């Protein structure tokens, strides 16, 4: 799976931690879209760039990071075909995949511990979409 990752300054450290955690997985090809420091940048640019890759099929899924995950999830969801879910716990991550077929995940670098973020990412990457009645609802979004 091709997985694109992007962050603003508020999510930079968590992005780096997740990239380090996932870097040894043979089933993932990671695409790091930046930012590459804690210097202030604008989250809409990074959310949009990651979402555009996912929407175009150049990445299978994406994970975006900002201070809370809120702003960058809004930016990503402006792109047609993207369903970016903000998750602050494992249950939200699981449901975002099972019921919403979320192709992007947003995480907050200032609201999650490293352990929480890793657990969320693990569940989000491993959970399959249930389809059925949920597909009908996703079709209504697009």
Domain residue limits at 69:
2-141
Tally of structural domains, the chain:
1
Q: Which of 9, 38, 84, 99 is catalytic?
A: 99
CATH number of the domain where residue 41 is located: 3.40.1400.10
The pLDDT value given to residue 131:
87
- What are phi and psi for residue 18, nearest 5 degrees? -65, -40
DSSP letter for each residue of 61-105: EEEEEESSSHHHHHHHTTSTT--EEE-SSHHHHHHHHHTT--SEE
- Rounded mean pLDDT of 55-84? 98
Q: Which of 9, 38, 50, 66 is catalytic?
A: 66
| 99 is a catalytic site residue | yes
The pLDDT value given to residue 78:
97
- Cα torsion through 13, 67, 95, 134, rounded to 10: -120
| 38 is a catalytic site residue | no
pLDDT over 90 for what percent of the chain? 94
Q: Is the pLDDT of residue 29 over 80?
A: yes
Collapsing DSSP states into helix, strand and coil, what is residue 1? coil
What is the rounded average pLDDT for all residues in the chain?
Answer: 97
| Parallel/antiparallel/unpaired status of strands 2-7 and 61-66 | parallel
């Amino acid at each position: 799976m091709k997985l694109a990752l992007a962050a603003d300054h508020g999510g930079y450290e968590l992005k780096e931690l997740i990239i380090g955690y996932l870097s040894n997985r043979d089933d993932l090809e990671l695409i790091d879209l930046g930012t590459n420091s804690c210097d202030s940048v604008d989250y809409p640019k990074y959310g949009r760039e990651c979402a555009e890759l996912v929407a175009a099929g150049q990445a299978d899924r994406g994970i975006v990071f900002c201070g809370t995950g809120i702003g960058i999830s809004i930016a990503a969801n402006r792109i047609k075909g993207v369903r970016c879910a903000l998750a602050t716990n494992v249950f939200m991550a699981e449901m975002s995949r099972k019921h919403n077929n979320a192709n992007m995940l947003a995480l907050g670098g200032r609201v999650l511990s490293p352990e929480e973020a890793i657990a969320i990412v693990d569940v989000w990457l491993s959970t399959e979409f249930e389809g059925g009645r949920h597909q009908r609802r996703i079709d209504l979004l697009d």
